[in-house]
Amino acid sequence: MTEMTLVQAVNRGLEEAMRQDPDVLLLGEDIGVNGGVFRATEGLFKQFGADRVIDTPLSETGIVGTAIGMALYGLKPVAEIQFLDFIYPAFDQIVSELAKFRYRSGGQYPCPVTIRAPYGGGIKGGLYHSQSTEAYFCHTAGLKVAIPSTPADAKGLLLTAIHDPDPVIFLEPKRIYRSVTGEVPDGDHRVPFGRARLVREGNDVSVFAYGAMVAPATEAAEALAAEGLSTEVIDLRSLVPLDEEAVVASVEKTGRAVVVHEAARTCGFGAELSAILAEKAFFSLRAPIARVTGYDTPFPYALENAYLPNAEKIVHAVRATMKAA
Amino acid sequence: MLDAYRWMVVARVTDERCLSLQRQGRIGFYAPLSGQEAAQVGAALAMQEEDWFFPAYRELAVALVRGIPLRSIFDQLVGNSLDVSKGRQMPNHFGFRDKNIVVPSSPIGTQITHAVGAAMAARRRHDPIATIAFFGDGATSSNDFHAGLNFAGVFGTPTIFLCQNNQWAISLPREKQTRSATLAEKSNAYGFPGVVVDGNDLNAVYRAVSEARARAVRGEGPTLIEAQVYRFGPHSTSDDPHRYRSDAEVAAARERDPIQRLARGLVQAGVLEAGAEKAIWETARGDVARAFEAAEGAPAVDALSLFDDVFETRTPQLEAQRSGFAAGAGSGGGTP
């Protein structure tokens, strides 16, 4: 175990994967000599060389397209998209190619690319360095989507992603890249997809979150404990595949659900969670499901704190849920 | 050379048969390659067994040269249970792992960056191979043409970009696709050679691709080749070329038919006896008819395979949807 920040844990995960398997290589903008704009790949260029930590021209479709070609040939490329907000030039490659290669070839051509991208607000990044658009990728068959909230999970989920036989969109909550530290297991630490993490056990209400929203959800639970409310907090860890069992079981116990994400509300992942609970836990629900999300506006610069969910908004939603029945 | 002629004839006969089969409703769609046979066969012959192919959806003759049986192609055109891609795609979108032919998609140009990435991977593994991407004149306007050629130039990859300029991107003529004098000259901007070749001349295409391949495996980088051809037929069975081009233009292009040209050359060279073409065409018609009939008679795709190959292992969500479907509950598997 070593104490480190979340971004250091990403770095350790990449280093571990590259040491384990010579087929793992990295490509992206400014990731080599410069070590990445967030320093996620710091030191790896020196350690593994320009062949395995590849500085590419400024083209996301080029990065993802060539990563696909490498994966078809048998390598395990890890592509970095500098900010999730810049992924859209590669959207055709991700949606039309990466997600569909195994299926369209009848299993002849698996395409195990990992795409890492820092996502989310809270860093004064304005419209184009803040967005949280995981739902686009969850909506596309053939992609897995994982989002860590702790340093240990950042390393463990990343190693799982790189070794997964299928493409994974790995979203890193950049807002907490350095603000949280935690113990991270050394060596080949893997956290499986599809297993939610019970952050805090509770009996009165379930709060579901992922990535950077797990911290305010936990903070809200602590504040509510002072009022005598027992709040369960569940970190989903991977959205595809989703740990539906854990989600449903929690609400069967508590009877109340609050879903938190910083993405815009309409068709956000919370809508899917709410639908699953309506389908599978309807008779356990004692109050309407509440969503605490970003608004259906573009991501604002000056008003980012007004836009983002926080502990106070979550507390408010939980109280409303408790009053509803 | 006689093999080249036979493949070109088989491809032409397949086109004729499939256009008719589509009109009869026996296959769902078809994208003909008539007029492009020499470009495809010449290019494929210049490549080696271990090379990787990234076709678009019009490269039927390439598959024939690589040794794909007509029957396997018809299994895909029909979309039956013997199709190696399990009936997942529209006709013409075939690929065969055992021959390093990657399965194409419908979006234009996206395979170009894949060919570059595979070439980078081959170099990482020290495999002395080349990759070749096939695309048309329309694709030179795509994002991935620019990204792919730019990456190939920067990394000096062993890649051949084979543009079959068939003069028409559905209804858009070549001169409205770009103001560049040739498509080949676009390579100048990416820092590597581009050559124009008469795509109706099998030998010219073969030589150009052979030279490009030799450069590639010597580590001298990529080449863009513009094979100038003419698309005799429609873009696909879904369009009517009479809306955008004249019969006279097509008739003039047919005067330069690559198959007739090769036949004349073979007869002159004494490889083919004058009049012997007829038997080759007859054999091809028989082979094509038999391949289609066998494919049409093969069992249909198993409905439960719908849920396979999304991932290597089905997620719990897919498992639930599959169970619901199997139980006749429609697609909403998992609801109480």
The answer to whether residues A79 and A115 touch, using CB atoms and an 8 Å cutoff, is yes
Q: Do A71 and A211 reside in the same domain of the chain?
A: no
Q: What is the torsional sign of CA B254, B255, B258, B260?
A: positive
User: Is position A129 annotated as part of the catalytic site?
Assistant: yes
Nearest C-alpha of chain A: how many angstroms from B301?
Answer: 12
Q: Do B166 and B315 reside in the same domain of the chain?
A: no
Q: Identity (one letter) of the amino acid at B46? A: A
Q: Do B74 and B160 reside in the same domain of the chain?
A: yes
Q: How many CB atoms lie within 10 A of CB B286?
A: 11
B155: domain CATH number?
A: 3.40.50.970
> What's the confidence (pLDDT) of residue B336?
43
> What's the confidence (pLDDT) of residue A226?
96
Q: Using CB atoms, which residue from A106, A242, A280 is nearest to B84? A: A106
Q: Identity (one letter) of the amino acid at A77? A: P
Q: Do A298 and A162 reside in the same domain of the chain?
A: no
User: Is A73 in contact with B52 (Cβ distance < 8 A)?
Assistant: yes
Q: Do B37 and B55 reside in the same domain of the chain?
A: yes
Domain count of chain A? 2
pLDDT tens digits along A6-27:
999 999 999 999 999 999 999 9
Please list, in sequence order, all residues whose beta carbon lies within 8 angstroms of the beta carbon of residue B223, skipping any fewer than 6 positions away: B160, B161, B187, B192, B193, B194, B195, B211, B212, B215, B216
Task: Output the average pLDDT for chain A.
Answer: 98
- A87 in a domain, yes or no? yes
Q: At what angle do helices B277-297 and B70-78 cross, to 10 degrees?
A: 50
> What's the confidence (pLDDT) of residue B56?
97
> What's the confidence (pLDDT) of residue B328?
87
Q: Do B255 and B314 reside in the same domain of the chain?
A: no
Instruction: Please give the helix or strand (H or E) that residue A157 lies within, else none.
Output: helix A151-163
CA distance B231 to B234: 7
Q: Do B172 and B317 reside in the same domain of the chain?
A: no
User: Is B309 in contact with A103 (Cβ distance < 8 A)?
Assistant: yes
Confidence of residue B335 (pLDDT cuts 50, 70, 90): very low
The answer to whether residues B19 and B32 touch, using CB atoms and an 8 Å cutoff, is yes
Q: Do B259 and B315 reside in the same domain of the chain?
A: no
Q: Do A174 and A208 reside in the same domain of the chain?
A: no
> What's the confidence (pLDDT) of residue A325?
67
Q: What is the torsional sign of CA B209, B215, B219, B222?
A: negative
pLDDT tens digits along B48-83:
999 999 999 999 999 999 999 999 999 999 999 999
> What's the confidence (pLDDT) of residue B1?
87
CA distance B168 to B105: 19
Q: Do B213 and B330 reside in the same domain of the chain?
A: no
A59: domain CATH number?
A: 3.40.50.970
Q: Is the pLDDT of residue A235 over 90?
A: yes
Q: Do A120 and A219 reside in the same domain of the chain?
A: no
Instruction: Please give the helix or strand (H or E) that residue A76 lies within, else none.
Output: strand A76-80
Q: Do A105 and A236 reside in the same domain of the chain?
A: no
User: Is B107 in contact with A166 (Cβ distance < 8 A)?
Assistant: no
Q: Do A177 and A279 reside in the same domain of the chain?
A: no
Q: Beta strand pairing status for A144-146 and A238-240?
A: antiparallel
Tokens of B78: 């029909």
Tokens of A286: 């004692």
CA of residue B276 relative to chain centroid, distance = 28
User: What average pLDDT does the segment A264-282 reach?
Assistant: 98
A249: domain CATH number?
A: 3.40.50.920
Buried b / exposed e across A38-71, counting CB within 10 Å, b at 16+?
A: bbbbbebbeebeeebbbbbeebbbbbbbbbbbbb
Confidence of residue B333 (pLDDT cuts 50, 70, 90): very low
Q: Do B202 and B317 reside in the same domain of the chain?
A: no
Instruction: Please give the helix or strand (H or E) that residue B223 lies within, else none.
Output: strand B223-228
User: What average pLDDT does the segment A170-180 reach?
Assistant: 97
Q: Do A246 and A278 reside in the same domain of the chain?
A: yes
Annotated catalytic residue: which of A129, A139, A189, A261? Answer: A129
Nearest C-alpha of chain A: how many angstroms from B302?
Answer: 13
pLDDT tens digits along A99-117:
999 999 999 999 999 999 9
Q: Do A161 and A207 reside in the same domain of the chain?
A: no
Q: Is the pLDDT of residue B265 over 90?
A: yes
Q: Using CB atoms, which residue from B83, B95, B316 is nearest to A241? A: B316
Confidence of residue B296 (pLDDT cuts 50, 70, 90): very high
CA of residue B265 relative to chain centroid, distance = 25
CA distance A259 to A271: 9
CA distance A169 to A269: 15
Residues of chain B positioned with their CB less than 8 A from the CB of A108: 84-85, 95-97, 103
Q: Is the pLDDT of residue A257 over 80?
A: yes
Q: Do B238 and B336 reside in the same domain of the chain?
A: no
Nearest C-alpha neighbor of B219 from the set B123, B148, B125, B116: B123
Q: Do A52 and A163 reside in the same domain of the chain?
A: yes
CA distance A79 to B225: 30
Q: Using CB atoms, which residue from B89, B102, B310 is nearest to A109? A: B102
- A309 in a domain, yes or no? yes
Annotated catalytic residue: which of B244, B254, B264, B290? Answer: B244
Residues of chain A positioned with their CB less than 8 A from the CB of B154: 56-57
> What's the confidence (pLDDT) of residue A324?
84
Q: Do A210 and A302 reside in the same domain of the chain?
A: yes
The answer to whether residues B132 and B54 touch, using CB atoms and an 8 Å cutoff, is yes
CA distance B142 to B139: 5
- For residue A241, the chain B residue with the least C-alpha distance is B315
Beta bridge partners of A172: A118
User: What average pLDDT does the segment A226-230 reach?
Assistant: 96
Q: Is the pLDDT of residue B307 over 60?
A: yes
Length of chain B: 336
User: Is A108 in contact with B84 (Cβ distance < 8 A)?
Assistant: yes
Backbone angles phi, psi at A249, to 5 degrees: -60, -40
> What's the confidence (pLDDT) of residue B148?
98
DSSP symbols for A216-274:
HHHHHHHHHHHTT--EEEEE--EEES--HHHHHHHHHHHS-EEEEEEEESTT-HHHHHH
- Residue B309's alpha-carbon distances to A19, A102, A111, B86, B94, in angstroms, are 30, 6, 11, 10, 16
pLDDT tens digits along B152-183:
999 999 999 999 999 999 999 999 999 999 99
SS3 readout for B153-199: HHHCCCEEEEEEECCEECCEEHHHHCCCCCCHHHHHHHCCCEEEEEC
Q: Do A303 and A179 reside in the same domain of the chain?
A: no
pLDDT tens digits along B84-120:
999 999 999 999 999 999 999 999 999 999 999 999 9
Please identify, among A149, A184, A219, the residue that sits at the C-terminal boundary of a domain. A184
Q: Using CB atoms, which residue from B102, B150, B317 is nearest to A57? A: B150
- A13 in a domain, yes or no? yes
Find the Cα–Cα–Cα–Cα dihedral B23, B25, B28, B34, rounded to 10°.
Answer: -30
The structure tokens 């390598």 sit at A75
> What's the confidence (pLDDT) of residue A283?
97
Residues of chain B positioned with their CB less than 8 A from the CB of A61: 113, 143-144, 147
Tally helices (H) and strands (E) across chain A. Answer: 12, 14
Q: Do B287 and B311 reside in the same domain of the chain?
A: no
Nearest C-alpha of chain B: how many angstroms from A215?
Answer: 28
Domain housing A224? 197-323
Judged by DSSP in three states, A73 sits in: helix
Confidence of residue B334 (pLDDT cuts 50, 70, 90): very low
- A189 in a domain, yes or no? no
User: Is B124 in contact with A25 (Cβ distance < 8 A)?
Assistant: yes
Please identify, among A184, A209, A230, the residue that sits at the C-terminal boundary of a domain. A184
User: What average pLDDT does the segment B319-332 reach?
Assistant: 83
Q: Do A95 and A138 reside in the same domain of the chain?
A: yes
Domain count of chain B? 2
Nearest C-alpha neighbor of B60 from the set B28, B90, B15, B4: B15
Mutate to test the interface with A, among B97, B143, B161 (most CBs of A within 10 A): B143
Q: Do B146 and B79 reside in the same domain of the chain?
A: yes
Confidence of residue B329 (pLDDT cuts 50, 70, 90): low
Q: Do B241 and B334 reside in the same domain of the chain?
A: no
User: Is position B244 annotated as part of the catalytic site?
Assistant: yes
User: Is A65 in contact with B107 (Cβ distance < 8 A)?
Assistant: no
Domain housing B331? 302-336
